[in-house]
Every structure is written in C-alpha cells, then in structure tokens.
Structure 1
Amino acid sequence: MAIILGSIYYFVLCPSFFAPALVFSAIYLFPLLCFRVLNFITPIEEGVSDILNDRFSPWWASHQIQTLFIAVPSLEAILKIIPGAFSLWLRMWGSKVGRGIYWTPGSCHYDRNLLEIEDGVIFGERSTTVCHVITPKDGKGLLRIKKIKIGKRAFIGAGSVLSPGVEVDEAVMIRAGSEIYPMRRVTKDGEVKIND
C-alpha cells in the first residue's frame, strides 16, 4: 500500500509520463510480481489444511496480496471492459483461460490463479467464483482449496456463486442466483452431482 501511495504522491509532485506508469505499475504489476515470486517459492496446493495452526499458509499470503483487487473491484472492472484484458490478467496470475470469454464488469473472481475456464463462457453480473472455503470444525479452521473448472460455452447467471471444486460441463446454463456448493459437478441436463 505504501508503494501505491508513494507513486501517487510522486505523480502529484512531479507530473510527467513516468508518473502514471509508476502508478499503474504499483497498482497492477507489483502485486502480480509479489504473487508470482511467492507462488514460485511456496506454491498453493489444492486440498484441505488447518488455517488456524502456526504454519505459514501460501494461500493466506496470496489472498492478502489480492486484497486490493477484492476491496476495490473497480480496478478489475476497468480491465473487463477492454476485450481480452481481463482474460490476460487472469492468465498472468496463473489461471487457464480460453478465448472469447465475456466478463461482466460486476463479476467477482477470488483466487485468480485457480480457475480453468474454456472458450466462450459468459459470466453474468455479480456472479462469483471462489476457490476456497474455510469451515470451523473441532477447534480447527479447515481450509479447502480446489480449482473451479468451467466448460466451453457455459453461461453463469447473474448473482450465481461457484464454490471450490465446482466443475461445469460444456454448454451448461446456470440460472441466476444459483449457489453451487463445494465439490459439485453441473451436467448438461442441469443436474448437480457431488464430485468429491
């Protein structure tokens, strides 16, 4: 945050071509670079772990790096109105993203590195993908991390929530406001199956 504020201060103090580039780099490139270094040193692994223990959690650290984009969604909404920019952005974080995907500006995508989205998918307004869930159990905070996979030409309705481990088959249409719980598979006939 200090780097962002410092770059904005520099922009105000010394307006030049370099100043906006510095602000852009501080907002978009620095967190991405930090994440890539962190993920190289300690990769995020799918599975279940106790988030409340004293060990270092790569997922927690990466989540903190992404907090700016969660807290200020308009930073990513700008990328969503430029064709291909948001898909490129997710690829830079490590997701596998196909071509021709339509991201509405209000869609929200946590865990930017854990998405696998094939060609032609449409995300409705306020649809959400979240590849983690923390469940309290027996004094532990069980963190489940699992990729979300979406097949070609799927439609994710407005206000829908896709949870960790969800798989959406090709050409599936998920109704607006649907909540697909963790470890489920949505088939072409609209059936939701447990996929553990």
Structure 2
Amino acid sequence: AVLYLLPPVAARLLTAVGGKPAGRYVPGDGAFLVWWVTLQLQTLFLRLPFLEELLRLVPGVYSAWLRLWGSKVGSRVYWSAGTVVLDRGYLDIGDGVVFGAGVRLNGHVLAKEEGRLTLIVDVVRVGAGAAVGGYSLLTAGTEVAPGESLRACLLSPPYSKWEGGRRSKDAAL
C-alpha cells in the first residue's frame, strides 16, 4: 500500500507548497523544479507499467489513484490496456470517457523556443462521453470536447482543441 500511496501524497504536498506549474518554463525556474520532482515521484510507475495495470484490473481503482495525484477523473472511465499517463496530476477527465489501447496522456512536452529548452506543462482535458482512439498521443493543454471521438494514432500538439472532428489551435500559443 505504501508503494501506491507515498508518491502521490508526496507530490500533492509538494504542489501545495510550491504550486502546481502550468505554462512554459525553462530549466532552473522554481516551477520547473517542482514539476521535475513530481515527475521523479512517478518514475517507478513509468518504468514498471504493470504496477498501474494491476490497479486497472478493478474498475474505479485506477481513477481513484489518479485523483490522489491531483487529477480530476469522472465516473465510468475506461482505461484500456497499455494506457500511459506521464503526469498523473495533470488530467481532467469527464464521466464515461473511453481510452483505446496504448493511448498516451502527456501533460508535458519539451520544446526549443527562442533557442532555449522549454518545458510546456498543462492539464489534458477530455470531456464527458468522449472516446480517444488507440495509440493516440494527447499532450499538454489538449482539450477534447464532450462526446468527441478521436481517431486511432492521433497526435495532438500542445494546446490543441478537438471538436466536431477538427482540431483548432489555442490562441494562447
């Protein structure tokens, strides 16, 4: 039990004290460090994915565990085998969402902006009743409208909005 409880509780305490980073940061920023430490607390689960698959065997347990990390997860969410969540505190998932096999939810990406390495970190939002096709990648700030159905193998760049089968780019970029 300690294996599953200590890392998310430590991450929640850290973000309660240091704030939950959202936006763009360069290495060395205080917010970058907070994000980096919370990512390190998740490393065991990234390296040994069967630990998360065990939680997904019992309906509702994996969603509850993600809530412990600080995510918002609705009821009746289906997490298919092989789903990977890189930033467990950066999800906002509505009721009745279905994730296809091998979906990746990355609350962060690293990019080169203005010649500097930049961390882009933000919540991935998937509206109620949406379906995300297998082997898709949703990155920082992606928003999927309620009821939307995304095709398999979709790559969603940061801050993309998906509605009516189309992607629009957020003006904040």
- Asked if these proteins are the same fold (TM beyond 0.5), I'd say yes
Q: 1:28-177 maps to which residues of 2 (within 5 A)?
A: 28-51=4-27, 53=28, 55=30, 57-177=33-153
Q: Helix, strand or coil for the counterpart of 2:118?
A: strand
Instruction: Tell me, in whole angstroms, the C-alpha distance in 1 between the residues paired with 2:62 and 2:81.
Output: 10
Are 2:171 and 1:193 equivalent residues in the alignment? no
Segments of 4+ moved more than 2 angstroms: 53-56, 136-140
Contact 1:81 1:105 in 2 (8 A): no
Amino acid at match of 1:110: L
Instruction: Give the greater-gyration-radius structure (CA).
Output: 1
Q: CA-to-partner distance for each residue in 1:46-99, whole Å, 9 max, x for gaps?
A: 111102x37561000100011111111110011111110011001111101100
**Bigger shift: residues 30-39 or 149-158:** 30-39
Instruction: Tell me, in whole angstroms, the C-alpha distance in 2 between the residues paired with 1:185 and 1:84.
Output: 27
Q: 1:181 aligns with which of 152, 157, 163?
A: 157
| Count of equivalent residues | 170
Q: Helix, strand or coil for the counterpart of 1:133?
A: strand
Task: Give the TM-score, by structure 2 length.
Answer: 0.93
Per-residue deviation, 1:139: 4.7
Which has the larger share of helix?
1
Q: Helix, strand or coil for the counterpart of 1:83?
A: coil
Instruction: Tell me, in whole angstroms, the C-alpha distance in 1 between the residues paired with 2:135 and 2:81.
Output: 13
Q: CA-to-partner distance for each residue in 1:77-128, whole Å, 9 max, x for gaps?
A: 1111111001100111110110000001210111111100000000011001
Instruction: Tell me, in whole angstroms, the C-alpha distance in 2 between the residues paired with 1:142 and 1:125.
Output: 30
Instruction: Tell me, in whole angstroms, the C-alpha distance in 2 between the residues paired with 1:54 and 1:48.
Output: 10
User: Identical aligned pairs, as a percentage?
Assistant: 35
User: Which of the pair has the greater relative contact order for Cα pairs under 8 Å at 6+ separation?
Assistant: 2
Task: Give the TM-score, by structure 1 length.
Answer: 0.83
